[in-house]
Amino acid sequence: MSSLTPQEAATLLGVTVKTLHRWEIDGKIKSTRTAGGHRRYDIAELIGNRSSNELTVGYARVSSHDQKDDLKRQVLVLESYCAKHGWEFEIIQDLGSGMNYKKKGLIRLIKLITSYQVERLVLTHKDRLLRFGSDLIFTLCENFGTEVIIINRSDESTFEEDLAADVLEIITVFSARLYGSRSQKNKKIVEELREVALKL
């Protein structure tokens, strides 16, 4: 399909039809007319226009309030990395489990990627995205033309370390649901399990 209806074009660009019409009035995009007088947009031109407005997104996440210092460090690393490369960027931050797919920041990130607005996604580590399912997001990135950059690839953990971290994450989530994320009992359980995990 070489041309799109206004609704299809708006969906491709992640905007409303009203915004699309405003862009046309402003001369940012052009349309042609069918024999019946309906607007049609050239897909190649839209993709080219989209490319000129693409954004670099840095994504930072920690699991709990106790890790806010780590979140600040992640943000600082992402900002420094993006600025050094001269990219226009936005940092999205999340506070929540790597098993939670409904985090506000993650949902915003997915919407940006699937509306072709993200040129590249930058992470400090792969597991900052999701504990399980990050490959699903990476597949979305591939399909929507988003480059993925993981800054600390060189010090990726071993399979055993990943497994221990995954088990700890699962137990942390379920113990938080049982006892409350801030309860002393939950914190004690998590600390004991962390010690065991580190010995694996």
Q: How many domains does the chain have?
A: 3
How far is residue 143's CA from residue 121's CA, in Å, rounded to a whole number? Answer: 13
Residues 103, 86, single domain; the answer is yes
CATH number at 72 reads 3.40.50.1390
Give yes or no: 31 in active site: no
| Residue at which a domain ends, from 34, 51, 68 | 51
Residue 166's pLDDT is what?
47
pLDDT digits (tens, 9 = 90+) for 153-195: 655 555 455 555 545 555 555 555 555 555 566 566 656 655 6
Q: What is the pTM of this model?
A: 0.56
Contact call for residues 94 and 60 (beta carbons, < 8 A): yes
For residue 173, report the phi and psi dihedrals to the nearest 5 degrees.
Answer: -65, -50
Residues 100, 76, single domain; the answer is yes
Domain enclosing residue 42, as ranges: 3-51
How far is residue 159's CA from residue 165's CA, in Å, rounded to a whole number? Answer: 10
Cβ contacts of residue 187 below 8 Å, gap of 6+? none
Residue of 63, 64, 115, 154 marked catalytic? 63
- Mean pLDDT check: name the lowest of 6-10, 23-27, 166-170, 190-194: 166-170
